[in-house]
A = this chain, B = another copy of it.
Amino acid sequence: MSKNSLKVAKGTRDWVGRDLELRDHIFRTISQVLERHGAVQLDTPVFELREVLSEKYGEDSKLIYDLQDQGGESLSLRYDLTVPFARWLAMHTNVQNIKRYQIAKVYRRDQPAVARGRMREFYQCDFDVAGASYDAMVPDAEVIRIISEVFSAFGLGVTVKLNHRKVLDGLFAVAGVPSNKIRTISAAVDKLDKTPWAEVKEEMLAKGLAEAVADHIGGYAQKSGTLRGLLDELRKDTDLSSNTDVAAGLADLELLATYLEALNVADIVSFDLSLARGLDYYTGLIYEVVTKPDPKSKVQVGSIAAGGRYDNLVGMYGKRPVPCVGISFGVDRIFTILDAQREKAIFNTLSRPADVYIMAFGGKEFDGLLPQRMKVATQLWDAGIRGEYAPKVKPRQMAQFNASDGVPLAVILGDEEVKAGQVRVKRLHTGGESGDKDKGKLVSLDGLVEEVRSLLDEAALDMAKIGS
């Protein structure tokens, strides 16, 4: 095989060592919050029937990875975790309501931007509340509460930008956008967080909108503020609020404001009329989580979580409608932020330090006592203790000392001791002067596990003292 194929596929990466540990820390932290709110886990296949994914993602459908036709079903890699969840809900008609979460990789044939945490294979963590037994906006409010708890746990200040599809659709209708142009104009508006109004307006005109209509939209789309504040303003705008869609959306948001106050998270929310979100399936509240501008931070990663209400998606599978609301955490982007914050430690996490290093020393005739070291390791493993020995028949003394770096305890074997059924047990790296001259405590193999346990407790206690 050629040398240039010795790499991972574009937009993918391996996870190992400190990166993997940080990633797992992120998974654990999010899971803990979600389980506190009653969520259960779901795991779906990495590929779905192509039909399951079709007509769910609008213009983004072109980013879906298809599998080659090798005789059989037409398959595609999952693009997100929402559609597989909707497919699962449609299949399991006995499920009345569920709070589910899923942490898994998703696949998008996008242009990778590794430094900003955008990959072709990347993790999402989705939490969704599904079912008809919820009163309006109650689960929606809990999702925003959960967002707040998750990012507090990471020590990240965030803003939840939110909007409502019905407010947006009504606004477009009032402005005079033809109904068949609403989604494409919506996509243009969505760019307002990164693109100046003049450019967005140009795009709208190019898409066939009259200038007056575009300007009408522009007057609204650039509005943002607190939820209560902007709600009051829009209520007073009778042109707008007399539209039935807008009125329904504002009623939802009014309710949401009350609940967010009760859940003590009203202050992290910003009502932002330019937020549109590209996906076809949203029907109500939509939101996007952005980090608060941090002058010290060097990384800019865009939104780090996003979601909304999608009441019709499950019904698209033809069985029954199931109202849903959810949030998708961009785990890799969260990783990018936390990674930039953490200090670069020197230690190498590609090996895991043992509790006990089992050594053997002897003179010229010494055979290395490997089977005996193995027997001691076996005793320790049986007792659930992490033991390790040099993987050499005749290990050098220095090599064994080097390998025991970071290990709190040594069991030392010598010819004479072994013949008498004994070994020496010794604390390592205690720092005391006498430490290295101390030959350790002689114990019989029968009492070894007990002695090791007691010395490990002692070592743990000393570590705690150093830490405090």
Is A65 a contact of B67 with CB atoms below 8 Å? yes
Partner of A350, one of B67, B98, B145: B98
Q: Judge whether A316 is part of the interface by a CB distance below 8 angstroms.
A: yes
Q: Give the size of the chain A interface in residues (CB under 8 angstroms).
A: 96
Nearest Cβ distance between residue A119 and chain B, in whole angstroms? 9
Q: Would B381 and A135 count as touching, CB distance under 8 A? A: no
Are A51 and B8 in contact, with the CB atoms below 8 A? no
**Bound CA–CA A319/B90 (angstroms):** 50
Asked if A2 meets B51 with Cβ closer than 8 Å, knowing A73-B9, A374-B262, the reply is: yes
Note all chain B residues with C-beta closer than 8 A to A141. Answer: 374
Chain B: CB-nearest residue to A261 = B371
A403 to B77 alpha-carbon distance, docked (Å): 38
Q: Is the Cβ of B45 less than 8 Å from the Cβ of A121?
A: yes
Binds B, one of A36-44, A202-210, A244-252, A269-277: A36-44
A393 within 8 A of B: yes
Given A75-B9, A263-B374, is A352 in contact with B39 using a C-beta cutoff of 8 Å?
yes
Interface 9-residue window, one of A15-23, A231-239, A278-286, A334-342:
A15-23
Chain B residues in 8 Å Cβ range of A54: 1
Q: For residue A20, which residue of chain B has the nearest CB?
A: B41
B264 and A149 contacting across the interface, CB-CB below 8 Å: no
B residues in contact with A371, CB < 8 Å: 258-259, 261-262
* CB < 8 Å neighbour of A8 from B48, B72, B350: B48
* Chain A contacts with B in 61-110, Cβ cutoff 8 A: 65-70, 72-73, 75, 77, 87-88, 90-91, 95, 98-100, 105, 107, 109
Copies held by the complex: 2
Question: Do B46 and A105 have beta carbons less than 8 Å apart?
Answer: yes
Residues A259 and B374 in contact, CB atoms below 8 Å apart: yes
A352 B40 Cβ-Cβ under 8 A: yes
Selected contact of A52 from candidates B5, B13, B52, B378, CB within 8 Å: B5
User: Whole-angstrom distance between the alpha carbons of A16 and B87 in the complex?
Assistant: 14
Secondary structure call for the A interface: mixed
Are A65 and B73 interface neighbours, CB within 8 A?
no
Residue A349 is within 8 A (CB to CB) of chain B in the complex: yes
Inter-chain contact A87/B263, CB cutoff 8 Å: no
Considering only CB atoms, which chain B residue lies closest to A34 in the complex? Answer: B352
> Do A350 and B95 touch (CB < 8 A)?
yes
In the assembled complex, A439 has its CB within 8 A of some CB on chain B: no
- Closest Cβ neighbor of A349 among chain B residues: B40
- Is the pair A378, B47 in contact by a Cβ cutoff of 8 Å? no
What's the nearest-Cβ distance from chain B to residue A305, in Å? 18
Q: Is the Cβ of A5 less than 8 Å from the Cβ of B51?
A: yes
Q: How far is the CA of A175 from the CA of B134 in the complex (A)?
A: 75
* Complex contact A72–B109 (CB within 8 A): yes
A7 at interface, CB cutoff 8 A: yes
Q: Which residues of B contact A346 (CB under 8 A)?
A: none
Tell whether, in the assembled complex, residue A135 and residue B372 are in contact, meaning their CB atoms are under 8 Å apart.
no
- What chain B residues lie within 8 Å of A375 (beta carbons)? 262-264
**Are B68 and A14 in contact, with the CB atoms below 8 A?**
no
Given A9-B75, A49-B7, A121-B45, A40-B350 contact (CB < 8 Å) = yes
Q: A126-164: contact bitstring with B at CB < 8 Å (1 yes, 0 no)?
A: 000000011100110100010001000000000000000
Given contacts A6-B87, A138-B392, 9 further A-B contacts (CB under 8 A): A6-B319, A8-B49, A12-B45, A14-B88, A40-B352, A47-B121, A65-B68, A67-B68, A145-B381
Mind listing 25 A-B residue pairs with CB under 8 Å? A1-B317, A3-B318, A3-B319, A5-B52, A6-B52, A6-B317, A7-B91, A8-B44, A8-B87, A14-B44, A14-B45, A16-B88, A24-B41, A37-B388, A47-B121, A65-B68, A67-B68, A67-B77, A68-B69, A99-B351, A135-B392, A145-B381, A263-B378, A264-B375, A264-B378
Q: Which positions in A face B, CB cutoff 8 Å?
A: 1-3, 5-10, 12-17, 20, 24, 35-49, 51-52, 54-55, 65-70, 72-73, 75, 77, 87-88, 90-91, 95, 98-100, 105, 107, 109, 121, 133-135, 138-139, 141, 145, 149, 258-259, 261-264, 316-319, 349-352, 354, 370-372, 374-375, 377-378, 381, 384-386, 388, 391-393
